[in-house]
Amino acid sequence: MVMQITFKDVTADYQLGPIRSANILKNVNLALPTHSFTAIVGHTGAGKSSLLKTINGLLLPRDGSVEVGEIVITADKPKKALKEVRQHVGMVFQFPEAQLFAETVEKDICFGPLNFDVPLEEAKKRTKKALEFVGLDETLLEVSPFSLSGGQQRRVAIAGILAMEPDVLILDEPGAGLDPEGKREILSMIKQLHSKEKLTTIIVTHDMDDVAAYADDVVVMEQGTVAAYQSVRDFFSDTERLQNWRVDFPEARKLQLKVEEETGVKLPQICLTIDELTESLIEVGLA
């Protein structure tokens, strides 16, 4: 399904009783094309999570509008539009295992689809498929989610979103708190799903290696505004600007800069992954 996401002059804030927080998002204009894989980076409090929340109407814009495919979300709570948009947008929160509640894994994964009036049989079918996709065994269906390990719980929670069969998948630091191996597995699983199901994927991450390895484009958020929106390669080529933003480099790029500094030899391309770096080093005869 074609699902471009367009932010038009989006301004939003959280109303906390008597305290009205400063604008969390300020005049955000952004258009993410359909089927793209976008990484959102930025410091804590830069508005990354809030930006995600406006996409499925958990945070409504005070001014401006967010368009997801054909659906338009504005300030005046269009209830039907919210339900519709949430059906198309699957959102995996930070530490999603905190949302598990049902007695069995199956019931928990079915929760989303059933809320959107998917027939029980179909929901169960999807559950099996989603569980298999996240790499868990079917025997776990009847087990309580609370008896699983942390990593397994994370996978069950993600399966709960996948079973909704969304067209847009949003993930807020899906790898946080996992060991490197588990993190890599989850991210490559997401990438695989992205290409297979032609999803529009948005991911918040702090790890520049993830950005380099999985994303096509990068959005840099700074104090509630979009500071940059570029392709990954363009983003990492501008060394000086990155240092100004205090954004880290991918490990391969760091090593490249170090090698260039030590040997005085400039490599022919910006290397974002270990493979690219190896290739370039062979090319210039350093390895």
Rounded to whole angstroms, the Cα distance separating 224 from 133 reads 35
| Nearest distance in Å: CB 160, other proteins | 7
- Is 123 an interacting residue with respect to other proteins (CB under 8 A)? no
Query: Mapping DSSP to helix (H, G, I), strand (E, B) and coil, where does residue 106 land?
Result: helix
- Is 164 an interacting residue with respect to other proteins (CB under 8 A)? yes
| Nearest distance in Å: CB 270, other proteins | 37
Out of 9, 29, 75, 115, the residue judged to bind other proteins by CB under 8 A: 115
- Is 69 an interacting residue with respect to other proteins (CB under 8 A)? no
Segment near other proteins (CB under 8 A); pick from 3-11, 15-23, 173-181, 211-219: 15-23
Segment near other proteins (CB under 8 A); pick from 52-60, 125-133, 175-183, 224-232: 52-60
Q: What DSSP string describes 185-213?
A: HHHHHHHHHHHHTT-EEEEE-S-HHHHHH
The tokens for 225 are 């505004």
- Is 22 an interacting residue with respect to other proteins (CB under 8 A)? no
Does residue 108 contact residue 145 with C-beta atoms inside 8 Å? yes
- Is 162 an interacting residue with respect to other proteins (CB under 8 A)? no
- Is 120 an interacting residue with respect to other proteins (CB under 8 A)? no
CA-based nearest residue to 10, from 34, 36, 28, 37:
28
- CB atoms closer than 10 angstroms to residue 40: 27
- Is 29 an interacting residue with respect to other proteins (CB under 8 A)? no
CA-based nearest residue to 163, from 103, 98, 111, 200:
111
Does residue 10 contact residue 210 with C-beta atoms inside 8 Å? no
Out of 47, 64, 69, 96, the residue judged to bind other proteins by CB under 8 A: 96
Strand order of the β-sheet with 25-32 is 25-32, 5-12, 63-68, 71-73
Query: By rule CB under 8 A, what count of residues binds other proteins?
Result: 28
Residues 76-95 that bind other proteins (CB under 8 A): 79, 83, 86-87, 89-91, 93
The tokens for 55 are 């996409």
Q: Which residue, 18 or 285, is less far from other proteins as judged by CB?
A: 18
Out of 111, 214, 236, 249, the residue judged to bind other proteins by CB under 8 A: 111
The tokens for 258 are 């170090």
Could you list the residues that contact other proteins (CB under 8 A)? Answer: 16-18, 53, 56, 58, 79, 83, 86-87, 89-91, 93, 96, 98-102, 111-112, 115-116, 146, 160-161, 164
